[in-house]
Homo-oligomer: A and B are copies of this chain.
Amino acid sequence: MSVARARLLIACPDGRGIIAAVAGFIAEHQGNVLDADQHTDPEHGEFFMRAEIELNGFDLTCETFDAAWTPLADSLDMRWRMNWGTRKKRMAILVSRESHCLHDLLWRWKTGELDVDVPFVASNHADWRGDVEALGIPFHYLPVTPESKPQQEAELSRLLEADAVDFVVLARYMQILSPSFVERYPERIINIHHSFLPAFAGRRPYHQAFARGVKIIGATSHFATDVLDDGPIIAQATLEVGHWDTVDDMIRKGRDLERVVLARAVRLHAQDKILVSGHKTVVFE
């Protein structure tokens, strides 16, 4: 039986005694640190920490925590967030024609492997409506043309707001979201790119990999930023290929990488295990 626990995430300038200060604060309030990870980025002198706090006995609540915590947080110049674990994160999925990532995420969601709710799936194609609705998940068909993109993105934004979505997964969504859309959701859009970035950014990476004659292919999950395929990388994986592999073989083999690498990023994000540090991620596993 698991105990109720909150997750505290901290980023601040590096300095002496931060762990002692944070652990001391929590102990003072009858909390217990069940799990703590920290990282110091020596390049930028920044300190990162994630702590899981046992709530049984903790004398602070969602209502009273801020007032008690803020003096310490401010004195150390922290950016921080506290997840009280009272609700699952709400994840919307965007997909186009290739469905392997969609089906994989839905299967993991259904079997309880991902600790999220899925308020809806949206697509610029109607193909997957049946599979999605059969699981009791609303499906939104949002076709798009170059002309209609502003309206389509506006409609998507409306849906994200209406359903209180926490983050969006681009599960092989083959439309490029506009920079203005992406900027509205910092660290809240997770994309899967079908290459080991930064190699083969852009379109048709398996075709690029085939043309270059690489002996390994890969997949990369990352936060989307306004620069295409350039956001902070969350997870990557690779596998070996050979001269006998056609582009279609690479596409087939790569699907297994993409599924695993995207699911890993989603799982990490759902558990508040990713902190963004400039152009990179700190991943506390």
Give the interface of A toward B (CB within 8 A): 16-17, 19-21, 23-24, 26-27, 32-36, 38-42, 54, 57, 99-100, 103, 107, 111, 113, 134, 196-200, 211-216, 218, 232-238, 240, 242-244, 246, 252, 256, 260, 277, 279-283, 285
- Kindly provide the distance from the CB of A125 to the nearest chain B CB, expressed in whole angstroms: 15
Copies in the complex: 4
What CA separation (Å) do A100 and B57 show in the bound complex? 39
Q: A17-B27, A17-B32, A20-B26 are in contact. List 10 more A-B contacts (CB 8 A).
A: A16-B32, A20-B23, A21-B27, A34-B40, A36-B38, A103-B107, A196-B218, A196-B238, A216-B238, A243-B277
Chain B residues positioned under 8 Å from A198 (CB to CB): 199-200, 212, 214
CB-CB nearest in chain B for A208: B198
Question: 7 closest pairs, A vs B, by CB?
Answer: A213-B280, A20-B27, A20-B23, A199-B199, A16-B32, A215-B236, A17-B27
Contacts of A32 in B (CB 8 A): 16-17
Which residues of the partner chain B approach A280 to less than 8 Å between Cβ atoms? 212-213, 243
Nearest chain-B residue to A241 (Cβ)?
A: B236
Least Cβ–Cβ distance between A39 and chain B, in angstroms? 6
**CB atoms of A216 and B218 under 8 A apart:** yes
* Interchain CA distance A34-B244 in the complex, whole Å: 13
Give the residue name and chain of the B residue nearest to A232 (CB): B213
Q: CB-CB < 8 A to A35: which residues of B?
A: 38, 40
Decide yes or no: A197 and B213 within 8 Å by CB, A27-B17, A134-B134 being known contacts.
Answer: no
Contact check, B42 vs A20: say whether CB atoms are below 8 A apart.
Answer: no
